[in-house]
Amino acid sequence: MEYVYAALMLHKLEKEVNEANVTSVVKATGAEVNEAQVKALVASLADVNIEDAIKAAPVAVAAVAPAADAAAGGDESKKEKKAEPPSEKQEEAAMEGLSSLFG
C-alpha cells in the first residue's frame, strides 16, 4: 500500500512517478523497499491517467482529500461543501478506474 501512496504523493507534487522517485519516497518513510513491487506499480501506472482515476474514485476517498489539504495548510476560509452520495453510475465508473490501477 505504501507504494500506491508514494505514487499518489508524487502525482500531487507534480513529480514523475518512476522507480527512482517511488523508491525514494518509500525509503524516506523508513519502510523496506521491495524493488519488484516498485517496478510492478510503475509499469501498471504507465498507461493510467492518475488524475482521472482519482476523480473516478468513490466519494469516501474524495471526502478525505479536502481534509488532508486543510491539515497540510490549505485555505481554511473556503466553505466546505457537503459530499453527495455517489450514484450507482459513479460507483461503477470509480470501480472501473480502480481496476485499471490494479490490473
Name the pTM for this structure.
Answer: 0.54
Could you read off the pLDDT of 3-54 as tens digits, one per residue? 989 999 999 999 999 999 999 999 999 999 999 999 999 999 888 888 888 8
User: Among 59, 56, 19, which Cα is nearest to 38's?
Assistant: 19
What CA–CA distance (Å, rounded) separates 97 from 53? 5
- What's the pLDDT tens digit per position in 53-91? 888 877 554 445 555 555 555 555 555 555 666 677 777
> Which sequence spans correspond to the domains of the chain?
1-46, 49-73+80-103
Looking at the domain that runs over 1-46, which CATH code has it been given? Answer: 1.10.10.1410
